[in-house]
Amino acid sequence: MLVDSGMDTPPELIEKGGIFVAPLNIIYSDGIYMDKIEITANEIYERLDEEVPKTSLPSISYVQQLIEEIKAAGYEKIVCVTISSGLSGTHNALRLTLEEHPEIESFIVDTKSIGIGAGIQAAYLKHEIENGKTFEELKKIAIHLPEKGHVFFSFPTLEYLKKGGRIGLVSSVLGTALNLNPIITCNEDGIYYTFSKARGRRKSLKKMVDAIEKSVNHVSSYDLAVTYGTDKEEALKMVEEMKSKFPNYRHFYMVEVSPVLGAHSGPGAIGVSMLAI
């Protein structure tokens, strides 16, 4: 499986092998850094007061190298999963690069999501591969995953999203003076929009859990995930609450926001995701 670093694929699955990660790039005035390889999220947060970096696609030469590594490892087919094409050119770049390699069969999935919302889809496909699903079966499964998943993010401020040029359809007029915490999600085209607004952090987190509850009420089984910037304690509390409230989960992931997403969300981001299975 080939994924990009903006997906926040659960690291415990990457460590098992069989998942190759194409790092997006983080661009500062003093240089370009590969996501998760040459820079950490905390290093970005520490520099946000000085400079909000830009982000860009994975290096095509690096992706070419990954494809060669995949072939050298003995794989004959590639399942490629990417963050939303509505938020990044990464999907198109990986698609074009794979088309240059007809010697290895591949298909690419546009998750229409980002961060753990995309990563939870990759995790599902990884488990299906381990369960022995054929390449053709995986294609049929993958095409329906975007409509089965939801992701919600609480951002204390939209400042970094706006400066990074990733504001999408999100209203940028929310005032921090009013202590409004917007809840951001992706629409069916995979573009950010404001799902809801809440006054204060606690109400914002509650609205996200309520949104997940509406989703899981219609399905018998699901995967869940929580993602966070710097507040791991807050994330752990969210995990405990969701496990108690939604006990029919199959897998539950807790993932730190990747550096490339942290550049847009800032240190205070926290998100939740579900995928019907």
State yes or no: pLDDT of 108 exceeds 90.
yes
Residue bearing the bigger pLDDT, 269 or 180: 269
- Are 89 and 117 members of one domain? yes
- Are 49 and 26 members of one domain? yes
- Are 162 and 55 members of one domain? no
pLDDT score for 115:
96
The percent helix, strand, coil of the chain (3-state, each to 5) is 40, 25, 35
- Are 7 and 115 members of one domain? yes
- Are 14 and 77 members of one domain? yes
State yes or no: pLDDT of 182 exceeds 50.
yes
Q: Name the band, by pLDDT with cuts 50, 70 and 90, for residue 166.
A: low
pLDDT score for 173:
47
Domain count, the chain: 2
What is the rounded distance in angstroms from the CA atom of residue 230 to the CA atom of residue 188? 29
Q: What is the mean pLDDT of residues 49-56?
A: 92
- Are 140 and 222 members of one domain? no
Domain boundary among 147, 169, 198: 147
Q: Which two three-digit tokens encode residue 59?
A: 């290096």
Counts for the chain of helices (H) and strands (E), in that order = 11, 13
Quick: pLDDT tens for 222-260. Answer: 999 999 999 999 999 999 999 999 999 999 999 999 999
pLDDT score for 192:
87
- Are 121 and 34 members of one domain? yes
Quick: pLDDT tens for 115-131. Answer: 999 999 999 999 999 99
What is the rounded distance in angstroms from the CA atom of residue 68 to the CA atom of residue 64? 6
- Are 38 and 57 members of one domain? yes
Quick: pLDDT tens for 197-222. Answer: 888 888 999 999 999 999 999 899 99
Domain boundary among 104, 132, 147: 147
- Are 12 and 117 members of one domain? yes
State yes or no: pLDDT of 169 exceeds 90.
no
Q: What is the mean pLDDT of residues 129-149?
A: 96
Give the residue numbers spanning the domain of 30.
Answer: 2-147
Domain boundary among 129, 147, 165: 147
- Are 270 and 192 members of one domain? yes
CATH number at residue 215: 3.30.1180.10
Residue bearing the bigger pLDDT, 175 or 34: 34
- Are 165 and 52 members of one domain? no
